[in-house]
Chains A and B, each alone.
Chain A
Amino acid sequence: MKRVELIDLSKSYDKQIDVISGINVTIEPGEFFVLVGPSGCGKSTMLRMIAGLEEITSGTLKIGDKVANGLPPNKRELSMVFQNYALYPHLTVQQNIAFGLDVKKVKKPVQQKRAEDVAEMLGLTEFLQRKPRELSGGQRQRVALARAIVSESPICLMDEPLSNLDAKLRAHMRMEIRRIQRTLGITMIYVTHDQVEAMTMGDRIMILHEGKIQQVGKPIDIYNNPANPFVATFIGSPPMNLASAKNDSVSSTLLIGDTWHLALPANENYSHPSSELIAGIRPEHLRPATKDTPEADKFYVEVTNVEVLGNETVFSFELGGNEWMAKWSGQWHIDSGDRIPILIDTGSLCIFEADTGELIKKPTDLGNFVFGKEVLL
């Protein structure tokens, strides 16, 4: 349970180009903090800098209240799970788990006791005498996890620990890692490229792109109010639909993708010096138009592809050169080539400034997608 503080951290390999720059974030004690971003965004490098495996070019790293920039990895009181698990192939599961304790000269009986306790917690008891190559991918992953837990370090770092597992096991391990982290109360810093893992596991997530922080916050806040078009498309599946937009202040309409004229409420106006905007809307906010909908509010789209997923239907269409997707709950019998009317609420629109990518209008109406516990009682 220690705080990790990154102050103006940057990393450069050739002293010219920063692969990571301007990282300022405080990870609270006991927090599950997720670093997420596409491959090559610098998230693993950042984790390795925290671990002490990679040097910090400039800035300050604080672990607890101590500056940790120059500390060797073992003095930082952390454990790490690697993407390929880094199990020692010549040692048994028991020896693998106890390796770190042996290094720290913990007495043999204590080593064994602690290794057995952790193994039991993770359901590895019957595999203790096996070699890693005799285990399945999921069991190896557990051994790697056990090795991190047994050290009882207050901070645990994980570098894409689930990426080598199949989808079903991954979903299961997501919950299990989260449960262990809560039980032990450790500070977790978790790197992933999978936005589902980030959304489901993190107390807070940080989205990185090209070595820069895009947004830090609670998963649901990031989903609802993405700071820029990159975050909007990175988080959420299918991603948020984006199209270029222009604000016509005379007729008080928003021209989306050069085809749709969306009437704006009288008090809203997004006139901006450049007037080049990007409009975004989540696929679930594109709603079906009904018979009662006034004809003027309907937008007709030509369906290009349909995916019926059982409980929901995703279909795509083209708008201003972009592929847009809509997600409706239920099974809809739509065929590609159909022209169907849809509805857009101005309330659920996100509007970004085109040059800077800055969010200038948050969605105010999240439709029927937000519920409180009161509904259930």
Chain B
Amino acid sequence: MNTHVKPGIWRRTGNARTAFLYLLPSVILFSVFVFYPMFRTIYLSFFLTNQNGEAALHVGFENFAYLLESSAFLNSMKATVLFVLYTVPIGIIIALFFALLANEKLKGIGFFRTVYSSTMGISVAASSVIWLFLFHPSVGVFNRVLSVLNFPQIQWLLDPEWALISVSISTIWMNTGFSFLILLGGLQNIDEHLYESSRIDGAGYFYRLRRITIPMLSPTLFFIITISLINAFQSFGQIDILTKGGPSQSTNLIVYSIYREAFINYQFGTASAQAVILFIIILIVTILQFKFGERKVHYQ
């Protein structure tokens, strides 16, 4: 007689049910604030909407087709790509430079660590207002300095040639604090003995930087590059306060363009379609980065 009785389904799934119970709080939070809006956006991107943002007319892929032909959208894409190229590499190089400086064991280095990371503690809105004053055509510090040095005045935020660069400068300044802090953390995690051992071998500063610091920091660098790229694609606050997308659409980055389309023109359908395109772009960039960038990363 077979005495081995298969336990009932209720008992067999005991662990799974317990696990789900533990996951429940995050499942609820993610569903309400991430998954629902995401699927709602994808849904809306296939519709034309009425004034209240409700789906009114199913148009299939027409929203996307319209966007890809619209010069305003393509211009906004171009501005976004330029903005990413301006801010991400320079921002990370500056943050890395500061982190390397602040990683030296010197008296009073704590003060500099605080100063370099302090931009993290300032909200985008507050720092944008500060930069608004710095960029001011007549009373701004930059133009004052230029006039003292007898250089021609620059219409920082009003000149279409300069506006994107000005916004990029302020964005780099805002993001440096966070990148600095993460990179400094990464540097401090590197075993001090590696440097001591290389000092006994006689390795100079730049040799150590090239053969020890950068490879050992590569996981952190990879992380901060990914995060910075995503952040740059999603910049909004500083645009809204500094330029409102102008002059002549030169700083109309894609997230700002989505905002205008949805909440000023009440075109929730095309706004959602733009959001979906942005999502796909970020996804592709991140996948590419993992595919090609991660090969150069040395995990412990």
Determine if A151 is an interface residue (Cβ-Cβ < 8 Å): yes
* Number of CB contacts from chain A to chain B under 8 A: 60
The DSSP consensus for interface residues of chain B is helix
Within 8 A of A (CB), among B186-244: 191, 193-194, 196-203, 207, 211-212, 215-216, 218
With both chains docked as a complex, state the minimum distance between the C-beta of B152 and any C-beta of chain A, in angstroms.
49
- Contact of A86 with B191 in the complex, beta carbons under 8 Å: yes
- Contact of A90 with B216 in the complex, beta carbons under 8 Å: yes
Determine if A123 is an interface residue (Cβ-Cβ < 8 Å): no
Determine if B17 is an interface residue (Cβ-Cβ < 8 Å): no
- Contact of A73 with B200 in the complex, beta carbons under 8 Å: yes
Q: Give the complex CA separation of A74 and B211 in angstroms.
A: 17
Proximity bits, A76-100, B CB within 8 Å = 1, else 0: 0011101010101110000000011
Within 8 A of B (CB), among A35-88: 51-53, 72-75, 78-80, 82, 84, 86, 88
Interface size classification for chain A:
20 to 34
Q: A89-B298, A90-B216 in contact; A74/B199 too (CB < 8 A)?
A: yes
Closest to B204 in A: A103
- Chain B residues near A73 (CB, 8 Å)? 196, 199-200, 202
Determine if A104 is an interface residue (Cβ-Cβ < 8 Å): yes
* Tally of B interface residues using CB under 8 Å: 19
Determine if B300 is an interface residue (Cβ-Cβ < 8 Å): yes
- Chain B residues near A80 (CB, 8 Å)? 196-197, 200
With both chains docked as a complex, state the minimum distance between the C-beta of A98 and any C-beta of chain B, in angstroms.
10
Query: Which residue in B202, B203, B215 is a CB contact (below 8 Å) of A90?
Result: B215
- Contact of A53 with B196 in the complex, beta carbons under 8 Å: yes
Closest to B215 in A: A90
- Chain A residues near B218 (CB, 8 Å)? 90
Determine if A133 is an interface residue (Cβ-Cβ < 8 Å): yes
- Contact of A88 with B194 in the complex, beta carbons under 8 Å: yes
- Contact of A79 with B200 in the complex, beta carbons under 8 Å: yes
- Chain A residues near B200 (CB, 8 Å)? 51-53, 73-74, 78-80, 100
Closest to A78 in B: B200
- Contact of B197 with A86 in the complex, beta carbons under 8 Å: yes
- Contact of A86 with B202 in the complex, beta carbons under 8 Å: no
- Contact of B201 with A99 in the complex, beta carbons under 8 Å: yes
- Chain A residues near B196 (CB, 8 Å)? 51, 53, 73, 80, 82, 86
Q: A89-B298, A90-B215 in contact; A103/B193 too (CB < 8 A)?
A: no
Query: Which residue in A52, A72, A99, A133 is a CB contact (below 8 Å) of B198?
Result: A99
Q: Give the complex CA separation of A78 and B200 in angstroms.
A: 7
Within 8 A of A (CB), among B58-109: none
- Chain A residues near B202 (CB, 8 Å)? 72-75, 100, 103-104
- Chain A residues near B215 (CB, 8 Å)? 88, 90
Proximity bits, B149-193, A CB within 8 Å = 1, else 0: 000000000000000000000000000000000000000000101
- Contact of B193 with A86 in the complex, beta carbons under 8 Å: yes
Known: A74-B199, A82-B196, A104-B202. 4 other contacts (CB 8 A): A51-B196, A73-B196, A89-B216, A99-B198
Q: Show 5 residue pairs from A and B whose CB-CB distance is below 8 angstroms, ordered by the A residue.
A: A52-B200, A82-B196, A88-B194, A99-B201, A103-B203
Residues of A at the B interface (CB closer than 8 Å) are 51-53, 72-75, 78-80, 82, 84, 86, 88-90, 99-100, 103-104, 133, 147, 151
